[in-house]
Amino acid sequence: MTIALSKQTVRKAISAHSALGLICCALLYLICATGTAIVLYEEWQRLEQHDAPEMTAIAPASVQRGIENVLAAESDRPTTTHLYVHLPTRDLPRATITTDTQAVHIDRSGAIAMPEENAWAEFLLALHYRLNLPAVIGMSLVGLFGAMLVALTISGIVAHPRIFRDAFRLRARRADAVATLDWHNRLAVWTIPFALAIALTGAMIGLFYISGVGLASSGYGGDSEAALAPVFGAEPEGDPAPAPIADVTPALAFMEREFPQTIPYYVILHDPGTAGQHVQIIAEHPRRLIFGEYYAFSGKGEFRGTVGLADGTVGQQLAASTYNLHFGNYGGLPVKIAYILFGLAMTVVVATGTFIWLDKRERAARPSELLRAAWWGFVVGVPAGVAATLLSRLAMGNGAPFVAIFWAVCLLALALNLLRFKRRGGVLKGYIRVPTA
């Protein structure tokens, strides 16, 4: 059966299809650009709250005093179900305690120093992690774009048989589509291993909710905690009866004595102040990609074993390695610099890929000049939006409306470029088609 459509309807459909394609490219560009920036997540936190107390280490007794001080300060609030202690690390040399209702920095003695105020760094992480959308929707969408990036990388290799032979052929001095194509292809070749690693791990992290819900529904009667227990361990049965606050000092002393090769960096107190409370310590294993191993202790400091992220099944170790491999949280500053350089290259590849697509449409007598102007505006708008939110943090404080500011700047940059294009008669010049005077 043939459907008769007018030429005008077909043209509108093509324009809508092109616009949707541009939106997908825009989100992929946004994910790559913010992912590059978030490599410095810990450094951004230190910049954002530069006066927070810093230390290379904190005594176990001071950690315990900090826990007791924070819980005492919450006596008039609902009982917290989890308490987290971030111990000083090389990248973030601060001790921070987080509960269900607050987060505070503590000093070397365990006294509460000040509230934690890193809303801008958290905004930037959320922008990359879930596009500032609700977690399930945003992370699933980012995961799908990770899978798309894998497909784009592989299809790009297949579509260019000479891509490796021409790996060092760069006609960058030409101010036309040829130079754009060369930059795109060369940077894509040089970043293939990085792009595949980042895209695969990003897809795994982003699709965590979809895969977890699917696994829980199919094999665990909808119980998501039971579905994840084989990988990350199960929660022991709780007991809500009141009890003195657990002492984490013996657990930390045990780690130092029995596992001196590890570096504890996180303490989790589950159900504090109850008879069922228990402690978990996450410790880094140097020269391993895993984010750490969970060491379990009773409320009295008795060692109960590990989850197996360091020496368990291949699947457990793979799952535990995904996060660090994706965000570059290993190897210190040299690895972070490499991730930033490769991330910038990937961002350029995505941006130039869209320009190449627009150039092909133009050569086929199907120019999309408004889309080109809109794309150029968005390419400029994303870094401008991030810079604007950082400036607003410095000027307005921790409570600045970062999400609104970011998207307002992005839309403003896009609108200004479209307006500039129309006011100058829609004439485009050069490989990026900048409107002429």
* Each residue's pLDDT tens digit, 114-162: 999 999 999 999 999 999 999 889 999 999 999 888 888 888 777 777 7
Whole-number Å distance between alpha carbons of 31 and 130? 9
Residue 132 CB-density burial (10 A; 0-12 exposed, 13-18 middle, 19+ buried): middle
Q: Are 399 and 119 in contact (CB under 8 A)?
A: yes
pLDDT band at 32 (very low <50, low <70, confident <90, very high): very high
Residue whose C-alpha is closest to residue 119's, from 431, 372, 364, 397: 397
Q: What is the pLDDT of residues 349-370, one digit of tens each?
A: 999 988 888 888 787 777 778 8
> What is the DSSP track for 163-220?
TTTTTT---TT--SHHHHHHHHHHHHHHTHHHHHHHHHHHHHHHTHHHHHHHHHHHHS
Kindly report the backbone phi and psi dihedral angles of residue 139, in degrees, each rounded to the nearest multiple of 5, phi listed first: -65, -35
Q: What is the pLDDT of residues 52-97, one digit of tens each?
A: 999 999 999 999 999 999 999 998 888 899 999 999 999 999 999 9
Q: Are 142 and 133 in contact (CB under 8 A)?
A: no
- Token pair, residue 13, equals 């459909």
pLDDT band at 228 (very low <50, low <70, confident <90, very high): confident
Sign for the CA dihedral angle at 171, 173, 174, 175 comes to: positive
Provide CB contacts within 8 A for 228, sequence distance 6+: 212
Question: Of all residues in the chain, what percent carry a pLDDT higher than 70?
Answer: 87
Question: Whose structure tokens read 């977890």?
Answer: 212
Q: Name, of 162-166, 227-231, 342-346, the range with top average pLDDT.
A: 342-346
Helix 224-232, helix 208-219: angle, nearest 10: 110
Provide CB contacts within 8 A for 328, sequence distance 6+: 39, 335, 336, 338, 339
Is 7's pLDDT higher than 50? yes
Whole-number Å distance between alpha carbons of 239 and 394? 45
Is 15's pLDDT higher than 70? no
